[in-house]
Amino acid sequence: MIRALIVDDEPPALSELRVLLDEAGNIDIVGEAGNAVEAIAAINRLQPEVVFLDIQMPRISGLEMIAMLDPSHAPRIVFLTAHDDYAVQAFEENAFDYLLKPVDPLRLGKTLQRLQRDRAPQDVGLLKRAHPLRQIPCSGQNRISLLRVEDVEYVASRASGVFVVGEDGKERFTELSLRTLEERTSMFQCHRQFLVNLDHIQELRFEEGGLGRIVTLGGRTVPVSRRFLALLKEKLGVD
């Protein structure tokens, strides 16, 4: 059984896809998502082998979403689109396959056969070449906001999740992993649990035991571990 996640913002489209996959058999639908943020969370949580991903979705399209996936456990992607404008680009983004909606069961069958044959994990190296992130999706109470990377002061990873702190000092929850953010943005890892935006550093204080402490332009502090201090000094051009 192939573990699959299905993602589409239109409920009837989701149920249609579910029916088709059920009919095809040998597929275990482990979850559904109605938008990119839900999808990222579901992928992190459920670690499916394949994601059937609609391209046209609110705020963050399917194409944009791939760049936000944690490269350490990236599933294979089968894109779905109503119109083949995006087909070429979809393959450039290293999709496994793409399907046109409404989906033809025979065509879906071929995709599933290929998936069955080729169960090797997605080539992580290819995904790394994806475009750098310009915005970070953050989920609030009932909204998703997109925070521009240059407006972020630092990112903190806690037991409760990854939080992005903007210039306003507000902490926003994001589904993206610290590793994704480190790889896809220009932010600098200064601690096992922290990324900092170098453009927002006001002060670097040195503390006992080879530790450091960053004071941001907004006056908030970010710890620097021994491991990253030397590299940080080099980055900032101080000795």
Partner 1 sequence: MLPFVLIERLSMTLDRLTMTLQLLQQTCVYLVIAYLLSRTPLFIPLMNVTVRPSHKAAAYVIFSMFCILGTYFGLQFDDSIANTRAIGAVLGGLLGGPSVGLAVGLTGGLHRYSLGGPTDVACAISTVTEGLIGGLMHRHYVGRRQFDRLFDPWRVALVTFAAEVAQMAIILLITRPFEVAWSVVDHVALPMWIANTLGAAFFMRILQERRLLLERQSSVFSTKALKIAARAEGILRNGFNEDTTKRISRIIYEETGVGAVSITDRDKILAFIGLGDDHHLPGTPIASEQTLQAIIHNQVLYADGNETDYHCSLSPTCPLGATLVIPLVGEDEQVIGTIKLYEPRNKLFSNINRTLGEGLARLFSTQILAGRYDEQKQLLARSEIKLLHAQINPHFLFNTLNVLSSIIRSDPERARELVLHLSTFFRKNLKRPTEEATLGDEIDHVNAYLQIELARFADRLTVKFDVPDPLRSVALPAFSLQLIVENAIKHGIAHMIEAGVVRIEAKEEAGVLLLSVEDNAGLYGGHDHGDGLGMNLVDRRIRNRYGDSYGLDVSCKPEVSTRVTMRVPIQLVAA
Give whichever of 100 and 204 is closer to partner 1, judged by the CB atom.
100
Q: Which stretch binds partner 1 (CB under 8 A): 137-145, 155-163, 191-199, 215-223?
A: 137-145
Residues 15-54 contacting partner 1, CB under 8 A: 15-16, 19, 34-35, 37
**Interaction of residue 11 with partner 1, rule CB under 8 A:** yes
Contact (CB, 8 A) for 176 and 68: yes
For residue 136, the minimal CB distance to partner 1 (Å) is 15
Handedness of CA 212, 217, 219, 221 (dihedral sign): negative
Question: Does the N-terminal peptide bond of residue 121 adopt cis geometry, omega within 30 degrees of 0?
Answer: no
For residue 88, the minimal CB distance to partner 1 (Å) is 16
- Residue 36 makes CB contacts below 8 A (sequence gap 6+) with 7, 57, 58, 59, 60, 61, 62, 64, 65, 68, 137
Q: Which stretch binds partner 1 (CB under 8 A): 10-18, 119-127, 162-170, 182-190?
A: 10-18
Among all chains, which residue has been given the structure tokens 């571990």?
Answer: 225
**Interaction of residue 59 with partner 1, rule CB under 8 A:** yes
Residues 233, 239: Cα–Cα separation, whole Å: 6
φ/ψ (deg, to 5) at 5 = -115, 135
**Interaction of residue 87 with partner 1, rule CB under 8 A:** no
Q: Work out the angle between the directed axes of helices 105-117 and 11-24 (0-180°, nearest 10).
A: 60
Give all strands of the β-sheet with 211-216 in edge-to-edge order: 201-207, 211-216, 221-224
Site residue total, partner 1 (CB under 8 A): 25
Among all chains, which residue has been given the structure tokens 């999709």?
Answer: 95
Identify the residue among 24, 30, 41, 100 touching partner 1 (CB under 8 A): 100
Give whichever of 117 and 143 is closer to partner 1, judged by the CB atom.
143
**Interaction of residue 105 with partner 1, rule CB under 8 A:** no
Tell me the per-residue interface mask from 201 to 230 with partner 1, x by CB under 8 A, - otherwise.
------------------------------
Residues that bind partner 1 (CB under 8 A): 9-13, 15-16, 19, 34-35, 37, 56, 58-59, 82-83, 85, 100-103, 142-145
